[in-house]
Structure 1
Amino acid sequence: MATPDTAPPAAESGQCPVCKGTGEVSRTVRVGRKRHTVGKQTGLCLNCLGSGQNPD
């Protein structure tokens, strides 16, 4: 009997745990005196420097 293939956990597959392999992370952007949330801004993952691979 064949078993279905399952994906290994992110830590074993070599993906960065912070960005989950995308190379980008999002931060909430807040403006004004009362710090209203206006959206999100994406940027380069500093853990893997945008490669998406686990640096360890």
Structure 2
Amino acid sequence: MTTSQSKAPAPEVKDCPVCKGTGEVSRTVRVGRRHRPVGQQTGLCLNCLGSGQAPD
């Protein structure tokens, strides 16, 4: 006799709205007296803590 196991559907995972699912966010780096932008620095997304998934 065989039994079939029915699995519950996996919950749909949504991307984090802040980092768009990448887990990283970019900030403009400014230097000098006039604070001119020279580039961007990436860091960990504090909304999802780098997982890329929307927090509950």
TM-score tier (shorter): 0.7 to 0.9
Identity %, equivalent residues = 80
Give the structure-1-normalised TM-score: 0.75
Equivalent residue, structure 1, for 2:30 = 30
Greater helix fraction, Structure 1 or Structure 2: 1
Could you list the runs of 5+ residues in structure 1 that have no partner in the other structure? 1-11
Q: Which runs of 5+ in 2 are unaligned?
A: 1-11
- 1:41 corresponds to which residue? 41
Runs of 4+ in structure 1 off by over 6 angstroms are: none
Match of 2:5 in 1: none
Note the aligned Cα RMSD (angstroms). 1.3
Give me the TM-score of the superposition, normalised by structure 2: 0.75
Greater Rg by CA:
2
